[in-house]
């Protein structure tokens, strides 16, 4: 049951809040209090003479902090009516303001507010002459941390970045979603899951950015178009790292390990620890510049047998995550998709640090994939070949395996049946084409030129075909100057003969490559060894590059940094970055790769 008084206009409702008028809701009596600037959980408990735990029990969202303008329920039954009737204080910033009444003493006030008499006098020098009726005293809330009040209950209410909605009778999640044109899941997400459903007489958050007050200059926007900038600059940015550490499983392995056996952890944990330590070193480096970050780290393990991502769903119920600016991870796609959806709902960017299909970028504007897919690699090697080898004998090698046929078509400018005439013409003009269907390699010789270098481009991922082709081409390497350009996947073909790779001067576009001759690499290794007494692995280098690039981007461009990517390629220690959207409604793919060649049996980065 709910008193009809709440069917009045909002202004009338507002007048009733903070007036200690009793309201009947679902058979219980409450005071309704609208949070004002300066309110804290501690001050509310003193204003209403109610225990903090009772406030939180009725309003669980208070554990996540007070938001100016939200309405909370004060359970009348839990109020100490004798104390409440006896001159409750008012909140004023970091102080409670108390009006002295007859018979009050310094001792009674120090007990009431859990503050020493000395601190009370220090904040109110006028009391040295004694208390006088009507005197206003300032009770310093911060002083109470040393007694019975924890720090989180003295944090003042802040403005919410989302619009707030006061829940009235008969409203449902469905009706609110329909009224505000929102998704019900997004409303749940920003309200800690709404496990208990909507509660009449409380305030919920709506995943709608709070409108800013309109100035005269804003009003002119319709006349003078302004560039939209979604970035918000903060003194401190919140970063969430979700990686599959599998702490519990590794603990079990350690307990079962026999004394003579070496220590070991799960392979996924090695990846997670590598990325985490790299990001941590980047954070340490950036903090020396005065940058501030709040970092939350979670074990986002994934159960492959049950294919359950419940662990991540439970993590996202933590309301502290609502203020996140950037998510790094998780690694497994089912987990990443859950976080990706959550991040989009709260306006945060999400980074996938490991290879993923481009489909994760299809409809999410804030998703960022740091590894280039096969088509981006094909674009890269085509542009590199036409730029660096245009005066050479260029040969495009094709096979008849479906996935490779699609990559070759992309190389020629054919996308989903549409043809980019400029690319198509340029490839046809500059490349000879060698089609090998039944692996008849005899015709290779007829396309090679012994007077100039030959560059054979193979945008192919078939392990079997690539291996056989390199073997066949190696036979001609003594008589012809041959360079072969391949794909990043070749670096994972463990059985490729290094002799063939060297003889054919193979060039591979690496997503990640550590150049140990690069000065920044040496500096990073020294820093890592000093802290961890060991050498970093490739995942550590990756985490470091991701941390430096994206966290510095936050500082430079705010939390909408992805709308302000520089056109130049950023060079990291092991990874380069240059981002572009795959489509107007999709996320960003990294198109920067490191071209590496095998020369004199060494892997050398091509500048």
- Assign 25 a pLDDT band (cuts: 50, 70, 90): confident
pLDDT at 219 over 60: no
Phi, psi of 535 (to 5 degrees): -100, 145
Stretch 4-26: mean pLDDT, rounded? 50
Give the E-state strand segments of 234-325 in sequence order: 237-243, 293-299
CA-CA-CA-CA torsion sign (193, 197, 202, 205): positive
Beta-carbon-side half-sphere exposure of residue 223 (alpha carbons within 13 Å):
5
Stretch 140-152: mean pLDDT, rounded? 52
- Assign 579 a pLDDT band (cuts: 50, 70, 90): very high
Mean of the per-residue pLDDT values of the chain: 82
Query: Are the C-beta atoms of residues 22 and 139 closer than 8 Å to each other?
Result: no
Cα separation, 314 vs 339, in Å, equals: 11
Q: What pLDDT does residue 362 have?
A: 86
**For strand 349-352 and strand 367-369, is the pairing parallel, antiparallel, or unpaired?**
parallel
Q: What pLDDT does residue 92 have?
A: 61
pLDDT at 439 over 80: no
Cα separation, 99 vs 83, in Å, equals: 14
More confident residue, 556 or 415: 556
Cα separation, 62 vs 57, in Å, equals: 9
Q: Please report, for residues 25, 513, 596, 602, the alpha-carbon distance to residue 499 in angstroms, rounded to integers and kept in the order given.
A: 81, 20, 16, 11
Cα separation, 355 vs 332, in Å, equals: 10
Query: Are the C-beta atoms of residues 245 and 299 closer than 8 Å to each other?
Result: yes
Q: Which residue, 315, 188, 291, is CA-closest to 240?
A: 315
Query: Are the C-beta atoms of residues 590 and 369 closer than 8 Å to each other?
Result: yes
pLDDT at 392 over 80: yes
**For strand 482-485 and strand 454-457, is the pairing parallel, antiparallel, or unpaired?**
parallel
Total number of residues shown for the chain: 607
Two structure tokens written together for 38: 């300066």
Q: What pLDDT does residue 144 have?
A: 47
Q: What pLDDT does residue 11 have?
A: 31
CA-CA-CA-CA torsion sign (56, 60, 65, 70): negative
Stretch 363-380: mean pLDDT, rounded? 93
Lowest mean pLDDT, pick from 308-312, 381-385, 413-417? 413-417
Cα separation, 367 vs 337, in Å, equals: 10
Stretch 501-520: mean pLDDT, rounded? 92
Task: List, in sequence order, the alpha helices (H) in 401-508.
Answer: 402-411, 421-430, 444-447, 463-474, 498-503
What would the pLDDT profile of 285-298 be if each residue is shown by its tens digit? 999 999 999 999 99
The helix or strand, by DSSP H or E, that contains position 487, with its residue range, turns out to be: none
The DSSP string of 335-370 is HHHHHHHHHHHHT-EEEE-S---GGGGSS-TTEEE-
Tell me how far the alpha carbon of residue 271 is from its chain's centroid: 18
Stretch 239-256: mean pLDDT, rounded? 81
* pLDDT over 70 percentage in the chain: 86
Question: Exposed e or buried b for every residue in 372-391, given b needs 16+ CB within 10 A?
Answer: bbbbbbbbbbbebbbeebee
Prior bond to 567 cis, omega within 30? no
**Domains defined along the chain, listed by start:** 4-159 (no CATH), 162-210 (3.10.350.10), 231-371+516-587 (3.40.50.2300), 374-510 (3.40.50.2300)
Residues ≥6 apart with Cβ < 8 Å to 150: none
pLDDT at 134 over 90: no
- How many CB atoms are located within 10 Å of the residue 484 CB? 28
Q: What pLDDT does residue 135 have?
A: 86
Cα separation, 177 vs 183, in Å, equals: 6
Phi, psi of 576 (to 5 degrees): -100, 155
Question: How much is the pTM?
Answer: 0.62
Phi, psi of 294 (to 5 degrees): -105, 120
Q: What pLDDT does residue 201 have?
A: 78
**For strand 588-590 and strand 579-581, is the pairing parallel, antiparallel, or unpaired?**
antiparallel
Query: Are the C-beta atoms of residues 141 and 154 closer than 8 Å to each other?
Result: yes
Query: Are the C-beta atoms of residues 547 and 287 closer than 8 Å to each other?
Result: no
Q: What pLDDT does residue 469 have?
A: 92
More confident residue, 544 or 365: 544
The DSSP string of 147-198 is TT--GGGGPPPB--SEEEEE--TT--HHHHHHHHT--HHHHHHTTGGGTT--
- How many CB atoms are located within 10 Å of the residue 79 CB? 20
Residues ≥6 apart with Cβ < 8 Å to 60: 192, 196
Q: What pLDDT does residue 81 have?
A: 61
pLDDT at 465 over 70: yes
pLDDT at 463 over 50: yes
Most confident of the ranges 34-38, 416-420, 452-456, 585-589: 452-456
Query: Are the C-beta atoms of residues 200 and 169 closer than 8 Å to each other?
Result: yes
Maximum distance among all alpha carbons in the chain? 110
Query: Are the C-beta atoms of residues 296 and 239 closer than 8 Å to each other?
Result: yes
Q: Please report, for residues 29, 411, 441, 468, 473, the alpha-carbon distance to residue 436 in angstroms, rounded to integers and kept in the order given.
A: 83, 17, 7, 11, 13
Q: What pLDDT does residue 4 have?
A: 32
More confident residue, 555 or 82: 555
Residues ≥6 apart with Cβ < 8 Å to 200: 2, 25, 26, 167, 168, 169, 171
- How many CB atoms are located within 10 Å of the residue 591 CB? 19
Two structure tokens written together for 127: 């009391």
Query: Are the C-beta atoms of residues 593 and 380 closer than 8 Å to each other?
Result: yes
- Give the SS3 label for residue 587: coil
Q: What pLDDT does residue 215 have?
A: 37
Residues ≥6 apart with Cβ < 8 Å to 129: none
Q: What pLDDT does residue 156 have?
A: 77
Cα separation, 504 vs 179, in Å, equals: 65
Stretch 531-553: mean pLDDT, rounded? 94
What would the pLDDT profile of 294-342 be if each residue is shown by its tens digit? 999 999 988 777 778 888 999 998 888 999 999 999 999 999 999 999 9
More confident residue, 370 or 88: 370
* pLDDT over 90 percentage in the chain: 39
∠ at Cα 54 (50, 55), nearest 5°? 80
pLDDT at 461 over 70: yes
- Give the SS3 label for residue 590: strand
């Amino acid at each position: 049951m709910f008193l009809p008084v709440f069917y009045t206009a909002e202004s009338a409702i507002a007048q009733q809040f903070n007036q200690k008028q009793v309201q009947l809701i679902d058979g219980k009596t409450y005071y309704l209090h609208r949070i004002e600037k300066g309110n804290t959980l501690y001050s509310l408990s003193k204003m209403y003479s109610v225990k903090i735990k009772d406030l939180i029990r009725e309003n669980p969202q208070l554990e996540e902090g007070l938001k100016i303008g939200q309405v909370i329920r004060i359970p009348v039954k839990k109020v100490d009516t004798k104390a409440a009737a006896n001159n409750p204080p008012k909140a004023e910033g970091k102080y409670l303001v108390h009006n002295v009444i007859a018979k009050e003493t310094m001792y009674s006030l120090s007990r009431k507010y859990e503050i020493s008499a000395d601190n009370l006098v220090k904040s109110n020098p006028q009391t040295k002459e004694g208390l006088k009726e009507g005197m206003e005293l300032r009770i310093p809330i911060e002083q109470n941390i040393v007694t019975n009040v924890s720090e989180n209950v003295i944090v003042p209410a802040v403005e919410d970045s989302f619009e707030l909605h006061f829940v009235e009778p008969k409203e449902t999640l469905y009706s609110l979603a329909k009224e505000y044109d929102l998704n019900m899941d997004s409303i749940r997400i920003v309200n800690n899951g709404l496990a208990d459903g909507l509660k009449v007489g409380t305030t919920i958050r709506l995943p709608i950015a709070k409108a800013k007050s309109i100035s005269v200059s804003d009003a002119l926007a319709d006349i003078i178009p302004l560039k939209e900038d979604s970035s918000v600059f903060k003194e401190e940015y919140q970063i969430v790292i979700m990686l599959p550490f599998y702490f519990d499983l590794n603990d079990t392995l350690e307990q079962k390990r026999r004394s003579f056996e070496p220590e070991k952890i799960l392979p996924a944990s090695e990846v997670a620890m590598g990325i985490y330590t790299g990001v941590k070193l980047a954070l340490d480096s950036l903090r020396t510049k005065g940058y501030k970050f709040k970092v939350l780290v979670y074990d986002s393990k994934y159960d492959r047998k049950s294919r359950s991502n419940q662990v991540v769903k439970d993590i996202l119920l933590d309301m502290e995550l609502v203020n996140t600016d950037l998510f790094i991870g998780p690694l497994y796609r089912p987990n990443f998709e859950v976080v990706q959806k959550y991040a989009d709902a709260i306006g945060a960017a999400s980074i996938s640090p490991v290879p993923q299909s481009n489909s994760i970028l299809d409809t999410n504007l804030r998703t960022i994939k740091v590894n280039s897919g096969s088509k981006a690699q094909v674009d890269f090697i085509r542009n590199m070949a036409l730029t660096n080898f245009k005066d050479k004998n260029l040969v495009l090698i094709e096979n008849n395996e479906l996935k490779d046929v699609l990559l070759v078509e992309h190389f020629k400018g054919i996308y989903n049946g549409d043809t980019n005439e400029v690319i198509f013409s340029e490839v046809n003009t500059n490349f000879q084409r060698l089609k090998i269907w039944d692996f008849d390699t005899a015709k290779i010789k007829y396309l090679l030129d012994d007077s100039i270098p030959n560059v054979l481009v193979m945008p192919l991922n078939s392990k079997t075909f690539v291996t056989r082709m390199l073997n066949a081409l190696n036979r001609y390497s003594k008589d012809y100057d041959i360079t072969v350009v391949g794909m990043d996947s070749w670096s994972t073909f463990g059985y490729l003969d290094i002799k063939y790779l060297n003889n054919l001067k193979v060039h591979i576009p690496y997503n990640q490559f550590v150049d140990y001759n690069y000065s920044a690499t040496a500096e990073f290794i020294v820093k890592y060894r000093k802290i961890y007494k060991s050498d970093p692995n490739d995942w550590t280098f990756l985490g470091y590059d991701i941390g430096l690039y994206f966290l510095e981007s936050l500082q430079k461009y705010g939390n909408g940094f992805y709308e302000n990517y520089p056109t130049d390629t950023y060079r990291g220690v092991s990874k380069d970055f240059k981002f572009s959207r795959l489509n107007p409604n999709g996320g960003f793919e990294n198109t920067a790769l490191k071209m590496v060649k095998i020369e004199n049996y060494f892997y050398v980065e091509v500048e």
